[in-house]
Amino acid sequence: MQRKTSFALAGLALALSACGHMGMAGGMSSPDPMTQTKMVGGAPMYPSKDIVDNAVNSKDHTTLVAAVKAAGLVDTLKGPGPYTVFAPTNGAFSQLPAGTVDTLLKPENKPMLVKVLTYHVVPGRIDAAALAQQIRAGGGRAMLKTASGGTLTATLRGSDVVIEDAKGHGAVVTTSDVYQSNGVIHVVDHVLLPG
């Protein structure tokens, strides 16, 4: 599997500056967004913690966390990365046809589960500003190569960022720029499915 290639990125430790840059008015420091703690699923997401250590505390991502554990991807997502994760909520998983999640969690379906989960992961740290820039540069579309080897398409619908999967289904980013020590999470409202 391409897991080794996809995930064995030479991760450099992210040096978060203790000093913010000087603001335009009054010499005040502007907070660095990469050091800001956001609330997701009723829990604080600390930028000093990794993707897994934060996700386990979100009550909106218990299905995703269970799937990551069943797929054996915990160590990978605790690794240096950096990774951009489009994280479906429990509500997103509940929109799949009845029995889909239970079927994917069966040990015999682990390869398919790994493929679905790594389809939500893009190597590198792509925050909302970088994603918007890629969309503009691509004439309204940004093609994102996933860790599974598939492609996601990012577009704008009004002020919403929409991530489209290989089947043409779109997921709206509901919370962006949840910074982690090893990447960034964007919460999405649908599960993305590879072709």
As a whole number, the mean pLDDT across the chain is: 81
pLDDT in tens, 65-122: 999 999 999 989 888 889 999 999 999 999 999 999 999 999 999 999 999 999 999 9
* CA pair distance 150, 143, nearest whole angstrom: 10
Q: Residue 172: how many CA atoms within 13 Å on its side-chain side? A: 6
> Residue 5 corresponds to which amino acid?
T
Say how far apart CA 101 and CA 88 lie, in whole Å. 13
Q: Over 60: is that where the pLDDT of 27 sits?
A: no
- Report how far residue 7's alpha carbon sits from residue 1's, in angstroms, rounded to the nearest whole number: 11
Q: Integer distance in angstroms from the first to the last C-alpha of the chain? A: 17
pLDDT value, residue 34:
64
pLDDT single digits (tens) 137-175: 999 999 999 999 999 999 999 889 999 999 999 999 999
Select from 41, 131, 22 the least CA-distant residue to 88. Answer: 41
Residue 142's H or E segment, with its range, is: strand 142-145
DSSP 8-state class, residue 14 = P
- CATH fold for domain 3-188: FAS1 domain (2.30.180)
